[in-house]
């Protein structure tokens, strides 16, 4: 489906005044004006952040009682087990709390369920095993548990003390844990509801440090730990694709510098295998495309405990081994992903009637349950509709599914509507997981697809790109593009500025790069200005562009600085393109 480009209206007088007040390029001033900023004071209020702007952890529902229970367990020398999750958010949350408790002298370990055998979150067998091993232990969940009603009930019957910390959507009833910590609990007045699991774990660690200090301030040693832990919180925040506004923006902005300046041993080794160890500055994209996929690969392929070990070990040799291992796992994951994406795409093309509804449900016994989520995301983007991928188990006849939304559709709501066909499900608006019996898939596909069709907003039927400014490629100097980073970090609900240029030309035939030719690489020219452009996951555009473009055309893109071997050059991230004859002048935002 072609995208409609919506251009922001611009007041040249406002742009000129902003550029003068802020001593910045017209490029940055245009972006600010497009986003409703008309004065320097407004810009400073929106984009200047301080660590002191983080809310006191005591405001978070349940956290004071949780911190008291943790401190009591430390003092009683009871074992404390952190029950985590296998994705980046869960792994970093586990690591944050582990470092805190270890520094506090606690007897601490962690339990990460195997994605392939146990699935997401708490499970009854794990609760029983933890109790049998040590009935006096304290169990703290991170990034999971808020919908685990049966598991919490079992822990209560056994007398196993359970603290649940989570950020996911909960049911009408809350689990009967010793205490629940969640930014959106009923009656909560916490000012920022969109923390991820690592963000909640960071707040709990902060509260524990306060309790271990003078009640309001942590000791100097624990303050240094908290500064380093912000880097782990930033990783979880970016990887979990929560809105990069408010507290999340603060955590990521300061966490990016912390990762470079105060890297823990394992994180330093991870930076090295990702080729980011020589960079003086990191971006949210470096986390999203460099660090997070390697941590995620461990969880996707059933090795999440090793990812936690990587982020907690102080042994440099062991850290180097683990970093190399997760790097290889990521390469393996990429191979599996390419194969699954090709099969899923062919499955849709062989069943064109599936595209008559608003959502896709695909299933196969040949698919790896650890990779279905990332492939679902690519399928949703490819066919521009929510997608659910299901990896079937031929022995149990039960499938593990993972869904990704498209264009703002509330995926959790969609699964709730179809709950009678599912054995279990959980997640949030943008991403969710499920379990389903083989004989329920056809009905689930029909009902889910119909629900999406009936509940997609009319505004989302034609995908739109909000363009901050139409510019010339000559405006993209290194200095001007670097200035745009002042607006960062960029991510969900706070995107990198998007520009368009019309009547650019191809310098040479479009090419591809990456495994399987997955990504597009092209050079474009406007007058004497030549710039390289890439489009990740859009390798199929190379053939389309070669066939459809025989003269000037229009492009929609974001811009950043590509740093390689000491050189810095402006590079475009191509988002959309149109032959000039089909270029549409869109209404203003």
Q: Distance between terminal CA atoms of the chain?
A: 21
pLDDT for 460: 45
Does residue 214 or residue 178 have the better pLDDT?
178
pLDDT digits (tens, 9 = 90+) for 324-338: 999 999 999 989 998
Per-residue DSSP letter, 262? S
* Lowest-pLDDT range of 194-198, 257-261, 384-388: 257-261
CATH class of the domain whose range is 351-460: alpha beta
- 12-29 confidence digits (pLDDT tens): 999 999 999 999 999 999
Using one digit for the tens of pLDDT, what is the confidence trace for 387-411? 999 999 988 999 999 999 998 899 9
The two structure tokens encoding residue 299: 């969880």
- For 52-328, give the CATH class: alpha beta
- C-alpha distances out from residue 132 to 127, 128, 516, Å: 9, 6, 49
Displacement of CA 89 from its chain's centroid (Å)? 8
User: What is the structure's pLDDT at 261?
Assistant: 87
Higher per-residue confidence, 115 vs 465 = 465
What is the structure's pLDDT at 430? Answer: 84
**How far is the C-alpha of 534 from the C-alpha of 541, rounded, in Å?**
11
d(Cα 32, Cα 45) in Å, to the nearest integer? Answer: 12
Look at the domain 4-8+468-582 and name its fold. Answer: OB fold (Dihydrolipoamide Acetyltransferase, E2P) (2.40.50)
pLDDT of amino acid 459: 46
Neighbours of 65 (CB within 10 A): 15
- What does the block give as tokens for 151? 């598991």
Token pair listed for 261: 């300046």
Predicted confidence at residue 586, as pLDDT, reads 40
Decide: 548 and 524 in contact? Cβ < 8 Å: no
Predicted local confidence at residue 58, as pLDDT: 95
Domain ranges of the chain: 4-8+468-582, 52-328, 351-460
The pLDDT confidence band at residue 429, using thresholds 50, 70 and 90, is confident
User: Please, which pLDDT band fits residue 280 given cuts at 50, 70 and 90?
Assistant: confident
Does residue 589 surpass a pLDDT of 60?
no
Of 267, 261, 255, give the one whose Cα is nearest residue 323.
267
């Amino acid at each position: 489906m072609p995208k409609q480009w919506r251009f922001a209206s611009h007041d040249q007088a406002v742009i000129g005044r902003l550029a003068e007040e802020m001593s910045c390029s017209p490029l940055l001033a245009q972006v600010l004006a497009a986003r409703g900023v008309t004065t320097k004071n407004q810009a400073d209020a929106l984009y200047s952040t301080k660590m002191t702007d983080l809310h006191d952890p005591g405001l978070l529902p349940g956290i004071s009682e949780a911190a008291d229970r943790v401190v009591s367990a430390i003092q009683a020398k009871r074992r404390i087990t952190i029950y985590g999750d296998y994705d980046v958010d869960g792994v970093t949350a586990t690591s944050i709390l582990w470092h805190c408790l270890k520094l506090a002298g606690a007897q601490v370990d962690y339990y990460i369920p195997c994605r392939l055998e146990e699935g997401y979150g708490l499970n009854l067998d794990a609760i029983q095993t933890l109790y049998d091993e040590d009935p006096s232990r304290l169990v703290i969940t991170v990034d999971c548990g808020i919908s685990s009603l049966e598991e919490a009930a079992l822990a209560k019957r056994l007398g196993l003390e359970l603290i649940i910390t989570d950020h996911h959507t909960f049911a009408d009833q809350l689990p009967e844990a010793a205490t629940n910590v969640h930014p959106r609990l009923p009656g909560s007045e916490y000012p920022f509801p969109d923390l991820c699991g690592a963000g909640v774990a960071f707040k709990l660690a902060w509260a524990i440090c306060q309790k271990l200090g003078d009640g309001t301030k942590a000791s100097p040693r624990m303050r240094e730990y908290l500064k380093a832990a912000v880097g782990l919180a930033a990783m979880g925040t970016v990887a979990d694709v929560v809105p990069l506004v408010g507290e999340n923006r603060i955590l990521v902005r300061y966490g990016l510098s912390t990762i470079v300046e105060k890297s823990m041993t394992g994180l330093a080794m991870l930076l090295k295998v990702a080729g980011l160890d020589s960079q003086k500055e990191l971006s949210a994209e470096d986390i999203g495309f460099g660090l997070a996929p390697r941590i995620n690969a461990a969880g996707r392929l059933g090795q999440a405990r090793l990812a936690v070990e990587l982020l907690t070990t102080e042994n440099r040799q062991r850290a180097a081994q683990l970093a190399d291992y997760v790097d290889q796992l990521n390469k393996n994951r990429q191979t599996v992903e390419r194969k699954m994406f090709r099969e899923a795409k062919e499955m849709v093309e062989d069943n064109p009637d599936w595209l008559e509804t608003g959502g896709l449900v695909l299933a196969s016994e040949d698919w790896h349950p650890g990779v279905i989520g990332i492939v679902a995301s690519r399928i949703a983007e490819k066919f521009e509709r929510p997608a659910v991928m299901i990896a079937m188990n031929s022995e149990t006849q039960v499938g593990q599914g993972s869904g990704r939304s498209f264009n703002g559709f509330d995926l959790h709501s969609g699964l709730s509507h179809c709950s009678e066909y599912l054995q279990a499900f959980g997640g949030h608006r943008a991403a969710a997981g499920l379990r389903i019996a083989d004989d329920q898939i056809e009905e689930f596909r029909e009902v889910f697809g119909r629900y999406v069709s009936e509940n997609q907003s009319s505004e989302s039927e034609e995908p739109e790109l909000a363009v901050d400014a139409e510019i010339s490629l000559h405006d993209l100097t290194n200095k001007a593009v670097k200035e745009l980073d002042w607006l960062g970090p960029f991510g969900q609900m706070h995107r990198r500025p998007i520009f368009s240029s019309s009547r650019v030309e191809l310098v040479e035939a479009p090419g591809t790069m990456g495994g399987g030719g997955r990504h597009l690489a092209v050079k474009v020219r406007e007058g004497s200005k030549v710039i390289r452009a890439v489009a990740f996951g859009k390798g199929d555009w190379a053939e389309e562009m070669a066939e459809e473009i025989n003269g000037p055309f229009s492009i929609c893109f974001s811009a950043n600085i590509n740093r390689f071997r000491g050189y810095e050059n402006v590079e475009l991230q191509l988002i959309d393109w149109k032959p000039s004859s089909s270029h549409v002048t869109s209404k203003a935002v």
